[in-house]
Amino acid sequence: MKVLSAYFSRHWKLLLLLAGCLGICSAVFSLYGLRVEWVGYAFVLCFALGLALFAAGYFQFLRRHRELERLLVQVREKVLPLPPPRGLLEEDYQALCQALASERAALALEDRNRLQDMTDYYTLWAHQIKTPIAAMRLLLQEESRPELEGELLKIEQYVEMVLGYLRLGSDSTDYVFRECGLDALVRQSVRKYARLFILKKISLDFQETGRTVLTDEKWLSFVVEQLLSNAVKYTPEGGRVRIYGDGDTLVIADSGIGIQPEDLPRVFEKGFTGFNGREDKKSTGIGLYLCRQVLDRLNHRISITSRLGQGTLVRLDLSRARREVE
């Protein structure tokens, strides 16, 4: 109905002209007193011919409309496969469309190249910075400086965060899904942050889950490390962190400062630091955002509940990882 209405709107002048001609002919025939059957026979023939021409024009209009709809679906391609022009104006319009498509493709290629150059630079920087970090760690082994070791661990965490951010935005990121022991993965992450637990005198209660999950071990470890880092960061000295299983869910709970109720719905937004981040002045607003992005790709789910002044509880639902390995 919409196409038919558009066709009428496009040819209303021609239809009005035909109606006027029929009206004039009817008036002339009436003045000369011609018999009705003679006039009626002529009108029927003219009406049939007009209807046939109208139908042919309408179906041609409909076919062209569908071609344009198909082109609209393919509008993101570099060059549109436009139909042959049927006149000088259509040829001009098509030339304009081709020029715009070529210009847009050139701009898109330039943006991709610029983004790739920036990604390559920061990836190289993140890998190069690991060398002096490793050297500083060796020096600290000769002279025990717990505070410096803690700060060095934070630097390593930020570097890993940068690499994780870059890898998530890369088309070449590969995921290796296999069955892995959840307890071993958690213990490995806990060992990495053991120094920070000791420095802040935070007790750790880890209850083994006995579970195996189908996941990418490297990326799930990245998420667990980010969550442990947040737990240690926002838990005061003498606090407590608990890690335990609840069915197919891994729970990480702390007795920290908690999260403002108005901040909870936005904690996974990119760059959102909330009240705690503004007070701390060291939050990047990237950690939980990366956790959500990684877990979405792993087909896992994350949820957070918190009470101000009492602590935060993070739940990692790993049940959705039960899928076929291709």
What are the φ and ψ backbone dihedral angles of 174, each rounded to 5 degrees?
-110, 145
pLDDT of residue 326: 38
In the CATH scheme, what is the homologous superfamily, with its name and number, of domain 180-321? Histidine kinase-like ATPase, C-terminal domain (3.30.565.10)
- Specify burial of residue 61 (Cβ count, 10 A radius: 0-12, 13-18, 19+): middle
Question: pLDDT by residue (tens digit) across 266-308?
Answer: 989 887 877 766 666 566 778 888 899 889 988 999 999 999 8
Spatial contact of 203 and 314, defined as CB atoms under 8 Å apart: no
Q: Which two tokens stand for residue 76?
A: 């993101």
pLDDT of residue 88: 61
Q: Which two tokens stand for residue 193?
A: 């942050």
pLDDT of residue 32: 65
Other Cβ atoms less than 10 A from the Cβ of 295: the count is: 22
Residues 59, 7: Cα–Cα separation, whole Å: 10
* Percent share of the chain, pLDDT over 70: 74
Q: Most confidently modeled of 72-81, 118-127, 234-243, 279-288?
A: 234-243
Summarize the confidence of residues 183-212 as an average pLDDT.
Answer: 90
pLDDT of 9 above 50: yes
Pairing type for strands 178-181 and 212-215 reads antiparallel
Where along the chain do its domains lie?
Answer: 2-72, 118-173, 180-321
Local confidence band at 196 (pLDDT 50, 70, 90 cut-offs): confident
pLDDT of 75 above 70: no
Residue 284 DSSP symbol: -
pLDDT of 216 above 60: yes
pLDDT of residue 324: 42
Mean pLDDT is lowest, of 8-22, 149-163, 300-314, for: 8-22
Q: Most confidently modeled of 72-81, 132-141, 186-195, 280-289?
A: 186-195
Mean pLDDT is lowest, of 95-99, 186-190, 218-222, 295-299, for: 95-99
- Compute the mean pLDDT over every residue in the chain, rounded to the nearest whole number: 78
Spatial contact of 189 and 224, defined as CB atoms under 8 Å apart: yes
pLDDT of residue 194: 86
Summarize the confidence of residues 131-152 as an average pLDDT.
Answer: 73
305, β-bridge pairs: 313
Spatial contact of 252 and 314, defined as CB atoms under 8 Å apart: yes
- Specify burial of residue 290 (Cβ count, 10 A radius: 0-12, 13-18, 19+): buried
pLDDT of 77 above 60: no
Other Cβ atoms less than 10 A from the Cβ of 202: the count is: 21
For the chain, first and last CA: distance in Å?
47
Tell me the Ramachandran region of residue 79: left when phi exceeds 0, alpha when psi lies from -120 to 50, beta otherwise: beta
